[in-house]
Structure 1
């Protein structure tokens, strides 16, 4: 039965409001964390109010989409690309890895794995919203994540030893990186202000993966959204020269030689963690199941954790298919150049986000996750379904047209 305009609008608002609420619940409960939380071995995505917020936000979003767009949700599988569908199949087949250990662990593992598939398909429905609604929805999500950072600093004070109260630097910076990425879907001064504020807050806690992620997202977006111009070449030369001159200050901000930052500092600071993950892969080459890896086995690396959980074959295929999706997103940028300016901006912003998050996954504990802004945003960008541009929308005449404020 076709939807009326009123019911369709109500459903759209329900999806957007539940998505915004989920974004808020993924980050704002962290403001209540105590410093004892920093010593928890599995701090990322666990703990009292944080866990309650994650669960409540996910349940709210899944319920809203299921009630508002049941037919689009059922059709999600038919709209996926071959790479996206293959990832879903691998996740489904990994249910067999959960049939080990005690009954409680098996049940929880099966539940989490099924929920991961359901969430990926549900997030794909967001892309079926009208372009203006999608633009506003992702723009508002970026503001929510940005306001989290501002609120945390206002309530907890400036960072001490890079920690904002009880919030570890990378936990604090992850939502800000996502805010930076999502703000690129919406033009205007507000989105520009979000990017500046988020980058400043990320630099304040010296979160290396988020700093490089923001820069990567900006560069990919700018180099694909508008044709390369003389001023961009001049700006690129200026940035390179400034980087050479200010390298000591940049190295200090990134703390590349700080032995106090994890096991060995350097570029990753996680060498010993990675060795532990490689040992776990050697011991369990076929995988141990989603959400079964301990903090030591995960290696504080999203790719290694994926291989530990899904096995050398399954995890390796997921990583390969992620690379295929990024390649397809690059082709989408080329194809979108003949469509509307909005279509092109979406394609460029999605590619920029995927590239930035693909880099960030080297330093984040999880590649596939339901309990943090990083994992949820990767699922959102990864599972964009195949869509066709509306025939009544005018094609792009020039890609360098100035964006409207707001």
Structure 2
């Protein structure tokens, strides 16, 4: 049945709004990483992006503001209803973050105001990112695929401009800061099939290995293995390949130890594999002194333990932080069940479910070594939020939209 001119106009307007959302998302991804190329050597040892220079912070603010504003203008109804589409575990996390505003009512007024602002912005960002999943599957696939290319190009550009790593730093970029966008690129590339995605994954893993970022290397391997095991049936040749892979660890162990820098006195296994035991002890001391929590963004780098889970407990308290971690685990388990559950899913839907589960597993592991679990401003925090807060009804609604678009001319479906 041919569509009316009014329906065609509505479809074209919808395509324009979708394009605006995707462009703002890609711009945000670029602003999260490319300004780091300008970091000077003076900031090479700074543990977080927020302390690594004014241009980086301005880029983060501009990217987030552009994305949130575009979503509010282009998809206001989806943004307003985003909370109602979340699962019970996801909604509970949002509620706990909201209730944590009470923790900001302590200390200096300036610090309390900043804490309230950051907490409110975290809520808005999480709900805004959940709206991305209401895009059509074609648009979502392209959006995450191009984002992976942007993050990968950041690594290539940094190496081309700043040169090969020296003492693991790429210019003034600390290794884990350099590697985090590349891990995100690896994860996002699994949402889209094809040679480009394969090239992105190979390039990202090589660049991560160059700076010997252990959490990112293990995260890339974890994301790949989990995706392959869930997306494709476990066949005899896969079992044989896994066995051969484990056997290959024995003769290749010296090279693996060198890449992981296990022979580095400052990073060896005696330091708990992370080299941050002193930070962890400080975080445990802060938790003991403030069991109710000190509020989001109120912890110093030393107090937070440079560990996302410890920082969550430091900021939200033993009860609130413990519940957030438990609910994150529940959401992770739910994503795993969705990835392996036999249902009448299209191939793309299965790939999305498996890629999301693989990404959450990799980021969940990375949070042990990154200074945050829930955060603003960096690629790691953005990717975790977008994977965690996927609405329950996204695939069904997308399928319905695809069916509706099937009657439209090809130029409109675009």
With normalisation by structure 1, the TM-score equals: 0.94
Match 2:139 to one of 133, 137, 159: 133
- Decide whether the 8 Å contact of 2:158 with 2:170 is kept in 1: yes
Distance 1:392 1:98 in 2: 42
Distance 1:280 1:115 in 2: 25
Q: CA deviation at 1:241?
A: 1.1
Count of aligned pairs? 394
- Decide whether the 8 Å contact of 1:366 with 1:375 is kept in 2: yes
Matched, 1:10 2:23: no
Distance 2:13 2:142 in 1: 19
* 1:122-175 residue CA offsets vs partner (Å, 9 max, x unmatched): 000000000010000000000000000000000000000000000000000000
Superposition pairs for residues 5-404 of structure 1, below 5 Å?
5-40=11-46, 44=50, 46-261=52-267, 265-335=271-341, 337-387=343-393, 388-389=395-396, 390=399
C-alpha distance 238-326 of structure 1, shift in aligned 2 (>3 A): same
- Decide whether the 8 Å contact of 1:112 with 1:290 is kept in 2: yes
C-alpha distance 39-45 of structure 1, shift in aligned 2 (>3 A): closer
Distance 2:382 2:342 in 1: 25
Q: CA deviation at 1:393?
A: 7.2
C-alpha distance 392-263 of structure 1, shift in aligned 2 (>3 A): closer
State the superposition RMSD in angstroms.
1.8
Q: CA deviation at 1:335?
A: 3.7
- Decide whether the 8 Å contact of 2:49 with 2:378 is kept in 1: no
- Decide whether the 8 Å contact of 1:258 with 1:266 is kept in 2: no
With normalisation by structure 2, the TM-score equals: 0.92
Distance 1:114 1:258 in 2: 41
- Decide whether the 8 Å contact of 1:14 with 1:68 is kept in 2: yes
- Decide whether the 8 Å contact of 1:262 with 1:270 is kept in 2: no
Distance 1:6 1:170 in 2: 42
Distance 2:365 2:134 in 1: 27
Distance 1:258 1:162 in 2: 12
Distance 2:47 2:354 in 1: 37
* 1:92-133 residue CA offsets vs partner (Å, 9 max, x unmatched): 000000011111111110000000000000000000000010
- Decide whether the 8 Å contact of 1:336 with 1:347 is kept in 2: no
- Decide whether the 8 Å contact of 1:97 with 1:289 is kept in 2: yes
> Bigger shift: 332-341 or 168-177?
332-341
Distance 1:189 1:215 in 2: 18
Q: CA deviation at 1:234?
A: 2.2
- Decide whether the 8 Å contact of 1:298 with 1:365 is kept in 2: yes
* 1:21-73 residue CA offsets vs partner (Å, 9 max, x unmatched): 00000000000000101244655554200000000000000001000000000
Gaps of 5+ in 2: 1-5, 404-414
Distance 2:306 2:313 in 1: 12
- Decide whether the 8 Å contact of 1:257 with 1:266 is kept in 2: no
Q: CA deviation at 1:340?
A: 0.1
> Bigger shift: 238-247 or 369-378?
238-247
- Decide whether the 8 Å contact of 1:258 with 1:265 is kept in 2: no
